[in-house]
């Protein structure tokens, strides 16, 4: 049953990536039903967790139960009488959150790395679709929005939409590529699971995707993951000769890539978007970004200061809630997540819910930091860097952002469930890189000679760990 539980988690990831394609191209008439396509699967995951004895027990789930009860009570006290709106709001804020700890119980480090390899393999078709969308007119079929809307994507610049790939909107690539970058950097520097040419192709595709997305948020989030990962590697002293060689190779590829027509066009369009943002903010594009981030923390509390004590009712601020209450989609309360939560739940309970999300984010950070300090393992920190903005700040009403928030957080927790064989292998990998660095600096080839002699001895068997060590030395 635990194996079936793992397969169900895989299915959750696949639906997260491709539910947008179903809503846009395959079953546009059922786009509203497909909005919650992962919910039945999620309930099945919870039932499998109960049946396999992998039900997590922690204070987070106790607090979550309290928030669910209070949110329902506050919605009644607020006079919100549409039960469907309340149910949808409870579903949005709370239903998917336990998956974080179910994944932490059901998956181990090997599972996380396999999921990461699958995400990396998805980068190639994702970027291929985005390139087609980037080249196509705004009203082309490949640029349709959910429900078959002819012009359903967000405008980027120079007459082009922000290509979402398989996702419904650009918010999908905005969270997909940072998590892909975390696994790419890990496999490129420490433990490679994919064949090297495929891994290299994935890196090239990532580099192409960032300007093609025409999304400053996607670009900055991915760069932030890279900066945090490099910082972790420098702190651990693992900037070996093999990693430097890989970085130089990547740099040469980037230089060659800059001459490709599609990359040059994408870079021009991206900079046009940047210049437009600068013009809108009186010449301060960076200032507009920092102001947006800072106001995201302060403005919600200023706006919600005049909100009713019990709020307007959970679910009222979502697009689905707006359609059920007014017959049209939109934002009845606010567009940003924090303001919406405070207005829906009221100042007190809304603040409690936001603190709950902040505590989860901080908890994941300290878990990842512990793995870095104790085990010299940068992967949890890289995954945390990719998912932390979604857990803390992003809207949860859009299914893509909600799914990524809990799945990324679940990967962070599960990445700490080390297998004994993996721990031994990682230790040897680190020693191998250190030895490789020493050999490059001092010209010491004695270890290599010993290895060769060992290979020449008849009948000697080479362990998988030794094979992995030699492979890493030749990265």
What single string gives the DSSP state of each residue in 186-249? HHHHT---S-HHHHHHHHHHHHHHHHHTT-HHHHHHHHHHHHHHHHHHHHHT---HHHHHHHHH
CB within 8 Å of 227: residues ≥ 6 apart:
none
Give the sign of the dihedral formed by CA 192, CA 404, CA 30, CA 124. negative
Residue 279: predicted pLDDT = 56
Is residue 170 within 8 Å of 163, Cβ to Cβ?
yes
pLDDT per 10-residue tile (average), the chain, 475 residues: 93 96 90 91 96 88 96 95 94 96 95 97 96 90 79 73 92 96 93 90 92 90 94 82 71 74 80 66 55 63 81 91 82 86 94 96 97 94 97 93 97 92 50 48 45 44 48 43
The pTM assigned to this predicted structure is 0.84
Task: Say how many residues make up the chain.
Answer: 475
The phi, psi pair for 292, rounded to 5°, reads: -65, -40
Residue 116: predicted pLDDT = 97
How many Å from the N-terminal Cα to the C-terminal Cα in the chain? 39
Residue 325: predicted pLDDT = 87
* Cα–Cα distances in angstroms (integers) from residue 247 to residues 119, 250, 312, 382, in the given order: 22, 5, 53, 18
Torsion angle, CA of 165/166/172/178, rounded to 10 degrees?
A: -70
DSSP 93: I
DSSP 147: G
CB within 8 Å of 19: residues ≥ 6 apart:
34, 37, 38, 168, 399, 400
C-alpha–C-alpha distance, residues 377 and 415, integer Å:
10
Is residue 236 within 8 Å of 381, Cβ to Cβ?
no
Beta strand 160-161 pairing with 155-157: antiparallel
Residue 413: predicted pLDDT = 97
Residues of 147-183 as b/e, b for ≥16 C-beta within 10 angstroms? beeeebbeebbeebbbbbbbbbbbbbbbbbbbbbbbb
Residue 154: predicted pLDDT = 76
Is residue 157 within 8 Å of 269, Cβ to Cβ?
yes
Other C-beta atoms closer than 10 Å to the C-beta of 87 total 15
């Amino acid at each position: 049953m635990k194996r079936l539980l793992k397969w169900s988690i895989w299915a959750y990831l696949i639906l997260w990536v491709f539910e947008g394609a179903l809503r846009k191209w395959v079953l546009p008439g059922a786009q509203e039903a497909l909005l919650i396509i992962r919910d039945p699967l999620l309930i099945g995951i919870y039932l499998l967790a109960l049946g396999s004895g992998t039900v997590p027990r922690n204070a987070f789930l106790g607090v979550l139960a309290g928030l669910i009860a209070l949110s329902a009570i506050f919605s009644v006290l607020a006079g919100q009488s549409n039960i469907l709106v309340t149910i949808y709001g409870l579903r949005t804020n709370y239903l998917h959150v336990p998956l974080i700890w179910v994944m932490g119980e059901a998956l181990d480090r090997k599972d996380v790395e396999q999921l990461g390899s699958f995400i990396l393999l998805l980068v190639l078709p994702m970027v291929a679709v985005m390139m087609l969308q980037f080249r196509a007119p705004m009203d082309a079929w490949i640029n349709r929005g959910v429900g078959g809307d002819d012009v359903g994507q967000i405008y980027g610049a120079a007459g082009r939409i922000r290509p979402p790939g398989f996702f419904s909107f650009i918010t999908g690539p905005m969270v997909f590529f940072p998590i892909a970058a975390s696994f790419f950097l890990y496999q490129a520097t420490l433990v490679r699971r994919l064949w090297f040419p495929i891994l290299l192709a994935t890196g090239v595709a990532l580099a192409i995707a960032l300007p093609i997305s025409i999304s400053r948020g996607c670009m900055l989030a991915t760069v932030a993951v890279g900066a945090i990962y490099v910082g972790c590697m420098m702190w651990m002293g693992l900037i070996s000769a093999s990693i430097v060689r890989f970085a130089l190779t990547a740099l040469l590829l980037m230089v060659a890539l800059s001459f490709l027509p599609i990359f040059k066009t994408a870079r021009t369009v991206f900079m046009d978007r940047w210049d437009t943002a600068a013009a809108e903010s009186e010449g301060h594009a960076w200032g507009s970004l920092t102001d947006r981030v800072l106001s995201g923390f302060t403005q919600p509390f200023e706006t919600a200061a005049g909100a009713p004590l019990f709020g307007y009712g959970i679910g009222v601020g979502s697009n689905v809630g707006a359609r059920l209450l007014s017959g049209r989609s939109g934002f009845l309360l606010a567009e940003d997540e924090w303001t919406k939560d405070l207005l829906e739940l009221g100042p007190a309970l809304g603040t409690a819910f936001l603190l709950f999300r902040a505590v989860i984010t901080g908890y994941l950070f300290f878990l990842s930091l512990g793995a870095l300090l104790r085990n010299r393992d940068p992967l949890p920190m890289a995954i945390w860097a990719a998912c932390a903005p979604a857990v803390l700040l992003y809207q949860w009403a859009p299914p893509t952002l909600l799914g990524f928030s809990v799945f990324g957080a679940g990967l962070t927790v599960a990445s700490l469930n080390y297998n004994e064989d993996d721990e031994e292998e990682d230790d040897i990998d680190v020693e191998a890189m250190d030895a490789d660095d020493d050999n490059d600096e001092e010209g010491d080839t004695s270890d290599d000679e010993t290895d060769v002699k060992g290979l020449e001895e008849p009948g000697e068997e080479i362990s998988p760990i030794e094979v992995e060590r030699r492979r890493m030395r030749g990265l």
